[in-house]
Amino acid sequence: MKKKILISTGGSGGHIVPATILYEHLKNQFDVSMSTDHRGMNFLDKNKYNLEIFNITPISKNIFLLPFQFCLIIYLIIKSIFFLKKRKIDILISTGGYMSLPLCLASKILCVKLFLFEPNMVLGRANKFFIKSCVKIFCYSDKIKNIPNKYISKISVIPALLRKKFYNVKKADAIDKNINLLIIGVVKEQRYSIH
C-alpha cells in the first residue's frame, strides 16, 4: 500500500509552484494530495490535483480581531487533526506560508512525519517556526539564511526540481533555427546583466 503524503502550501505563486512540482515528482510512488487556501486555488487546476482547501486569514494587527482569529486558528487545528486522521496521512510536506500552520501543528500533535521544503535562500517564517519539529528540510543549498545553527544538520540539499516534462524532453536530431534556452543557477550577491 502506498504511503499517503499531503503537501501543504501557502497561497502565493512562490509556494504553489514548488508544491506542484513536488506533487508531480511524488504522485507515481505515493498517494499524494495537496492543501492550500482560496488564494492558492487561483493557481491550480482542480481536475489535475487532489486538493483540499484550508482557508486561513493572516493575523490582523487590529487588537479587537485577535480573539476571533485565535478561535479560528484553534478551529483550523482541530479540523486539521481530524483531516490528517481521516485521510491517514503518513507524511506532511510543507512549502511554507501561514496557511500551513494549522496542519503542521496537527502533524506535531499526531506524530505525523513533517518535512519542510525551502526553495529560497532565506528561511521563511513558517518553516523557521517548525524547523525543530521537522524530520528534514529540503533546500537547494546548505547556505540558507536565518536558519539556527543547531538545525543545520536537518538540511537535505537536493538538486533544483523542474517540472517533469523538462526531464522527458528528447534530444533533437538537428538543431533548429529557433533555440530555447533554460538557465538555472544561484546568484551570489553580485549583479549581472545580459546584453
Confidence band of 99 (pLDDT split at 50, 70, 90) = confident
Residue 40 has what pLDDT? 75
Work out the burial of residue 70: count CB atoms within 10 Å of its CB; fewer than 13 is exposed, 13-18 middle, 19 or more buried. Answer: exposed
Distance CA 22, CA 76 (A): 24
How much is the average pLDDT of 10-36? 86
Confidence band of 194 (pLDDT split at 50, 70, 90) = very low
Confidence band of 190 (pLDDT split at 50, 70, 90) = very low
* Segment (H or E) for 93: strand 91-94
Q: Cell for 181?
A: 534556452
Strands 4-8 and 136-139: unpaired
Q: What is the 3-state secondary structure (H, E, C) of 18-66?
A: HHHHHHHHHCCCCEEEEEECHHHHCCCCCCCCCEEECCCCCCCCCCCCH
How much is the average pLDDT of 97-126? 90
The domains of the chain are located at 4-167
Identity of the amino acid at 192: Y
Distance CA 138, CA 180 (A): 29
Does residue 57 carry a pLDDT above 90?
A: no
Residue 6 has what pLDDT? 94
Does residue 84 carry a pLDDT above 90?
A: yes
On the CB side of 138, how many CA atoms lie within 13 Å of its CA? 17
More confident position, 160 or 151: 151
What is the maximum alpha-carbon separation in the chain? 67
More confident position, 13 or 106: 106
Domain 4-167 is classified in which CATH homologous superfamily? Glycogen Phosphorylase B; (3.40.50.2000)
Confidence band of 120 (pLDDT split at 50, 70, 90) = confident
**185-193: long-range contacts, CB 8 A cutoff, minimum separation 24:** 186/121, 186/140, 186/141
Work out the burial of residue 79: count CB atoms within 10 Å of its CB; fewer than 13 is exposed, 13-18 middle, 19 or more buried. Answer: middle
Residue 15 has what pLDDT? 80
Lowest-confidence segment of 97-101, 119-123, 142-146 by average pLDDT: 97-101
